[in-house]
Structure 1
Amino acid sequence: MSQPFRIRDDAKKWFKALRERDFRVDFDSFYFCFMAGIATGKKAQVPKDETSELVSYFPERYGSRKQLLVALFLTQELADLGIEMGEKKDVHSKIKKLLDPDSPGHHLSDDGVREFNKYAHGGFEILRDEWFDDRPRSLETFLRIFKQELDAAISKRQSLEALT
């Protein structure tokens, strides 16, 4: 069995109102955390006993986006390591560690899933500590603020990349 995606227990509590009313699967909470982590480049290590197992595949509603999510993850991992796309040997070596084409449901190696989870864990810290003043209570307000903050984070990163 492949390594599962894991969500922080405090993230589950933070998203409680949306999980009860609006989210169809717990992976929805994980997705928003992951996107915040990827957009800001924030990763966090969280003890396994402070997380809950979700699934070891992308749920059906995310199936059409799984290649995009994995590509965002790989791009961020390479950037974190300072590996340029032209450095073929280094790119291939790192991707080989993170991907497993035989892994059903997500094509990530166990190491890849662990690193993927770290972006979701770090992204939750961004949501809780920087992007929101309080936990979300309505999907409409959450999505409006999330989109605004996500756009700002992406714009900031692009500006920083342009300077280097």
Structure 2
Amino acid sequence: MVNEPIRGPQPFRLRDDAREWFKGLYERDFRVGFDAFYFCFIAGITSGKKAPIPNSAAAELVAYFPDRYGSRKQLLIALFLTQELEDLGIEMGEKTDVHAKIKKLLDPNASGHNLSDEGVKEFNKYAHGGFEVLRDEWFDDRPRSLETFLRTFKQELDAAISKRQSLET
């Protein structure tokens, strides 16, 4: 019997082109790489956009939610699960289907983020897709100051939320 190597939880990943795009904020404002990942993820989850990116084009960040995001971990996971179920057309009342999908995406024993390997891969896809939303739809140019970035991000986020709400009614 061959022993398989012990490996830890899958890490969150930030696309290399996103790291370059956010370069101006890393130099002055972003304290951790997860800051850029967070904004990308929020744009992706709000827009419902996912993009598969090979691991070779996305550097590893961390395999946990950093301290600054720890208090928001459950909210981020809830947003993720809600979007995944919506993408599959699964209604919350369909308990068997909801449970089966959540079981595939969550791993309560995965320290740091409670996501299964598949869950982390799908979570990362929203960040990858969100970067495309930021770059191609929400911004004309890469961010150069945090103040301008946050102002535009908030305006675009509010518009995306309004658009989603109008589609649901």
TM-score bracket, shorter-length normalisation: over 0.9
Cα displacement string for residues 7-47 of structure 1 (whole angstroms, at most 9, x for unaligned residues): 00000000001011001100000000000000000000011
> What are the ranges of 5 or more consecutive residues in structure 1 without an aligned counterpart?
none
Given the alignment, which residue of 6, 26, 29 partners 2:36? 29
Q: Report the identity percentage.
A: 79
AA matched with 2:26: R
Count of aligned pairs: 162
| Match in the other structure for 2:81 | 74
Asked if 1:142 is matched to 2:146, the reply is no
> What are the ranges of 5 or more consecutive residues in structure 2 without an aligned counterpart?
1-7
| Match in the other structure for 1:109 | 116
TM-superposed deviation, 1:64 = 0.3
Cα displacement string for residues 86-108 of structure 1 (whole angstroms, at most 9, x for unaligned residues): 00000000000000000001100
Cα displacement string for residues 57-83 of structure 1 (whole angstroms, at most 9, x for unaligned residues): 000110000000000000000000000
Q: Distance in 2 between matches of 1:86 and 1:151?
A: 28
TM-superposed deviation, 1:5 = 0.2
Asked if 1:86 is matched to 2:93, the reply is yes
Q: Distance in 2 between matches of 1:131 and 1:45?
A: 20
Aligned-residue Cα RMSD (Å) equals 0.4
Over 2 Å off, 4+ runs:
none
| Match in the other structure for 2:129 | 122
Q: With the length of structure 1 as denominator, give the TM-score of the two structures.
A: 0.98
Q: With the length of structure 2 as denominator, give the TM-score of the two structures.
A: 0.95
Given the alignment, which residue of 9, 14, 20 partners 1:7? 14
AA matched with 1:69: L
Asked if 1:38 is matched to 2:38, the reply is no
TM-superposed deviation, 1:115 = 0.1
Asked if 1:131 is matched to 2:138, the reply is yes
Given the alignment, which residue of 63, 81, 87 partners 1:56? 63
Give secondary structure in 2 for the equivalent of 1:52. Answer: strand
Q: Distance in 1 between matches of 2:57 and 2:113?
A: 23
Asked if 1:152 is matched to 2:122, the reply is no
Q: Distance in 1 between matches of 2:110 and 2:160?
A: 32
Q: Distance in 1 between matches of 2:166 and 2:45?
A: 16
TM-superposed deviation, 1:48 = 1.1
